[in-house]
A and B are shown apart, each in its own frame.
Chain A
Amino acid sequence: MTLCTRRIAMGALCALGLTMQRPALAWAAPPSPEDPDFAAYLLDRVDDLARGDSSHGKMQMFVKTERWERSMTMEVWSLGQDYSLVRILEPKKERGTATLKSHKDLFTYLSKTGRTIKISGASMGGSWMGSHFTNDDLVKDTRLSRDFDTVVKDGPKIEGEATWALVLTPKRKAVVVWGRIDVMVRKSDLLPVGQLFYSEDQKPVRKMEFHDFKTVDGHELATRIRMTPLDKPGEYTEVRYPEIDFGVDLTPEFFSVAQLKAL
């Protein structure tokens, strides 16, 4: 795949939930910014999913590359961090094609041919559904607070709002490819608005932006996320959530290969 050679998207994205953005639940009162636990708290919010929380909704993905542009509409189900199912609705040519994630296994169902492929080993680096995200991103297991040392600073103004900048340096033994990650969190509501990923040489390689925060079923989430590879001018992938429901009735059995075909 052409995009196989594209760079990896951030591991945190997975934690954030590519398939379903993990909304920030109402938390116990946050520690004050001077508290040494403040950083860990913020990171956990960024990382933490509503464990066991289920969701169902629609997702729109727009990919712009040097050569082409593409819009897709997908239906998405998820259960915690371990299960998710994404099914293409538009374009019509690919309607029915779906990706299933079950723990660390990834399957792709191809509607045109009715075949299911298990994504393994080397093909993990391949692009997911043609976007700038890779299959590996869906499956990776990075925990920001565990794997990074954090320094809290004042961040830049983003969309008129003041932010905290959490400068994350990977711990020596952390299994992360990045040299540094900056997480920008709004001072007002402690919602993450951006992430910047650096190579080991401290060069920014990737940028993630979170916009259009809404509250749904008591969950606050960004309904527009844009991922920009900084070495490819003009290219980006943008994901929107026009519809979403939480607390949906879903069981792990729903997330199975058989289900892929049945849908």
Chain B
Amino acid sequence: MDDLKLAWRNVWRNTRRSIVTIAATALALFVMIVYSGLVVGYIDGLQRNILDMEIGEIQAHEAGYREKPSLYSAIGDAPGFVAALEGAGFRASPRLLATGLGAGPDNSAGIQLIAIDVERDAKVVEVSQHVSRGAWLQTADTGVVLGWRLAETLNLGVGGELVVLSQGADGSMANEVYPVRGVLRGISDGIDRAGVFMTHASFRELMVFPEGSHQIVIRAPAGMELSEATRRAASLAPQGTEVASWKQLKPMLASMLDGARGATQVMAFVVYFAVGIVILNAMLMAVFERIRELGVLKAIGFSPAGILRLIVLETGIQTAVAIAVGIVLAIPTNLYMSRVGLDLSVLGNMSLMGVAWDPIWRSSVTSSTYVTPTVSLLVIVALAVTYPALRAAWIRPLDAIRD
């Protein structure tokens, strides 16, 4: 205890020096924590963008549909499957898909019809929140919502009318006029260029397609790991249905995310290295500036071990205070960054590999956002202080005093 008291007094005796050292250490920790949050937030943001917009976590199709999409290739007993999934804690949105010709006042273009169960769909993907003009579909809506590029090509805006021509399931010429309820922001390349969202009811009437769904977009229950969730969903699926996770559906996106994670690890290494240098500097200064005083201590009888213990305790105290300060500063910053984040929308509508980007960069904060940097800091400090501490412990008193 005596040592501790001595150490404590020593630290505060030379207030200025201690403050500077503590400040440097605290800043380093603060930077590491905030950076950690931002970087994880970046990756999470990437992933969320991909999944939340359009893909969901898991998708189910009738076997063979993905290779050769066809109106007739629908999942058997889709309602039963959806019910089973919801019973097991999943969220599911059945969708009906078809291609056709869409026409505006003076132009026509190929379109992709996507019919949704409005309520279920809103729980599974976030498209409904990305309407740039007008509004999303209502539950029993007779209108449509268009991708923005399609709306431009066809020169249609909110309130305009889209003429749809396709071939019904019975071979008839399916055609209808739909009021345009809204136009989306950038979602994904496919939807932007050709996406037309409508309700199940509209689709079934247009295409003479009373039963069946072509695609079910699924979200796993909170906390369930992806491959486990995929397995579970597959076990609930009717015969002949293919259930695949988003990583299997979009392997390139998955590998891009892995690449991004790797890149952030490299960057983290660089940041930690920079921190290490700062700490090293601080520790070196902290010890060597007091070499005279430490020499005196040795002269009056402190053993090397004693000196070592003293330095360790003092460093420990300074570091503890620095950690406290760093964390206290980091908490509100992280809160801000995770709630509000950095708004990058000045950079415009962005898309990467056909998927639109959420321009707000938020932090993802978990306990490891705090724990990892703190532990790393302790390690760095320990390493940094070793050399000077050992030098100080073994210096000959006369040399120290004379210095």
Contact = CB atoms under 8 A, between A and B. Distances in A.
A23 interface: no
Interface string B157-180: 000000101110111110111000
Contact of B167 (A69, A112, A113, A127): A127
A3 B101 CA distance: 12
Interface stretch (A89-97, A138-146, A156-164, A181-189): A89-97
B110 interface: yes
A67 B172 contact: no
Contact of B176 (A67, A68, A112, A122): A112
Contacts of B99: 1, 4
Interface string A32-70: 000000000000000000000000000000010101111
Interface residues of B, number: 23
A12 to B, nearest CB: 25
B108 A2 contact: no
B388 interface: no
Interface residues of A, number: 29
For the residues of A in contact with B, the DSSP-based class is: mixed
A126 B171 contact: no
B108 A130 contact: no
B172 A94 contact: yes
B380 to A, nearest CB: 61
Contacts of A120: 107-108
Contact of A123 (B101, B170, B177): B101
Contacts of A122: 109-110
B170 A70 contact: yes
A65 B171 contact: yes
24 contacts: A1-B166, A1-B167, A2-B71, A2-B72, A2-B167, A3-B167, A4-B99, A67-B169, A67-B171, A70-B171, A94-B172, A97-B175, A110-B165, A112-B176, A113-B163, A115-B177, A117-B101, A117-B108, A117-B165, A122-B109, A123-B110, A127-B167, A130-B172, A130-B173
Interface of B: 70-72, 99-101, 103, 107-110, 163, 165-167, 169-173, 175-177
Interface of A: 1-4, 63, 65, 67-70, 91, 93-94, 97, 108, 110, 112-113, 115, 117-120, 122-123, 126-127, 129-130
